[in-house]
Structure 1
Amino acid sequence: MKFKAVATAEDITGDVKNAEDFRYAEETKLAWEEGKLSADITEEQRKVTEADIIIFQFPMYWFNVPAIMKGWFDRVLTLGFAYTQEEPYTQGLFKDKKAMLSFTTGSLKSSFGPNSIHGDMSVTLWPLQNGILHYCGFQVLAPHIFWAPYCAAETYDNIMKGWRKRLQVLLGEEPLSFTPEDCFEKEKVSC
């Protein structure tokens, strides 16, 4: 996919419904329903549809995904295709698919924790794992983190050996647990 970091009206082929009050989510939902999303987006959506598991591999950058990957989330995981407000989280459209974050950090594991300089990694990952992946229904697997992987060849070989071992059993892993939606009042969206 030729990535764009920013989602724009150019993602839609043809006219938009309301150019005066452009709302990306609603416009891309309509374009998705009418088959008018740009070809690069529909190709990525096809890949997501066919996948049983998606591994998002990236270097952590400013405690988040790089802008180009955020652009992928914004452009590919469109309203209607990837999520609905009526059926989020465990009821979501991708409830039969698994997803996992796999990334490198620029700091050692000891730098991340409740009382460490960078804070708790689970808090850092919450917007990605719960707010994007779980919201779309994915069964989110524990992340695979390569802590400051700039190391001696022997250490690197051990890191990669562990990664290969995990990949062999990945589809059988239990997903992370999130607070069930029925613990919350149903959110009502109104304008």
Structure 2
Amino acid sequence: MKILIVLAHPEPKSFNAALYQSAIKTFIENGHEVRTTDLYTMKFNPVYDRSNFKSVKNPNFLKLQVEEIYAAEMNNSYTDETRIEQEKVEWCDLMIWQFPLWRFAPPAILKGWTDRIFTSGRFFKGGGYYENGTLKGKKALISVTTGSPEETYASDGFHGDILGILRPINRGILECVGFSVLEPEINYSVAHLTEDERKSLIGRWNSRLKNIFNEPIISAGKY
């Protein structure tokens, strides 16, 4: 199978980076093909403006959706950085996002990546959304870390239900373009882990990934 793993964390010694590297190793050892996107290492520009395109539909007023559709019509005339990432997404059978939860959301660099990559005319076309989305048949999995402990993310916890917090990602971004989503991998309060706890959680992650293609998809739920 073909796997794309996207990392959004600025520290190469972080627990997120360890999970990312471990996933690459596990998939390759089990005969899968892996491509990667390390957003901070590649200094990906999350700002979405006219610089995302090589073509121009309307030079007097920037409406991004119009320019996206026009770029698709003009043989995908996006900037090379965008086009390469789009091709990775179209190539994969499974996409994994590895990131820390910052203020109940992914880092801005990852959100900016989705803004620039998931474009109309290429990923949104023909009126297809959700079950009829362009990327139907592909699976996606978010692997997220938190600063606070697990009990604070219960439905009656201090922060609230973690699945509700993640719904804008699973439903509003991934399912919206057609991905089927898998149960999120959530590691809590990672800054306070001992070395043995880190090793145990990475081992659990590796075991899960070995059987990931046998897992059932979930419904993220509507708002």
TM-score norm. by structure 2 comes to 0.76
Deviations 1:137-185 (A, max 9, x none): 00011110111123111111111111001111112211112569xxxxx
Partner in structure 1 of residue 62 of structure 2: 22
**8 Å Cα contact 2:182-2:215 kept in structure 1:** yes
Question: How many pairs does the alignment contain?
Answer: 179
- Map 1:27-46 onto structure 2 (within 5 A): 27-34=67-74, 35-46=76-87
CA distance, structure 2, for counterparts of residue 55 and residue 119 of structure 1: 24
Q: Is the CA contact 2:167–2:221 (under 8 Å) kept in the aligned structure 1?
A: no
What is the root-mean-square deviation of aligned Cα atoms in Å?
Answer: 1.6
Unaligned runs of 5+ in 1: 181-191
Partner Cα distance (1:161, 1:41) in 2:
34
- TM-score under structure 1 length normalisation: 0.88
Q: Is the deviation greater in 150-159 or in 50-59? A: 150-159
Alignment partner, residue 96 of structure 1: 137
State the shift of 1:82 in Å. Answer: 1.5
Structure 2 stretches lacking a partner, 5+ long: 1-41
Aligned position for 1:50:
91
- Indicate whether 1:105 and 2:171 are aligned: no
Counterpart of 1:189 in structure 2 is none
How far residue 12 of structure 1 moved from its aligned partner, in angstroms, is 0.5
Deviation at 1:86, TM superposition (A): 1.3
Pairing of 1:55-94 with structure 2 (within 5 A): 55-84=96-125, 86-94=127-135
Please name the residue that 2:38 is paired with.
Answer: none
Q: Give aligned-pair identity as a percent.
A: 34
Which 4+ residue blocks in structure 1 deviate beyond 6 angstroms?
none
What is the Cα deviation at residue 125 of structure 1? 0.9
Q: Which residue of 2 aligns with 1:183?
A: none
Distance across 1 between alignment mates of 2:185 and 2:135: 21
Amino acid of the residue matched to residue 57 of structure 2? K
Q: Distance in 2 between matches of 1:82 and 1:172?
A: 26
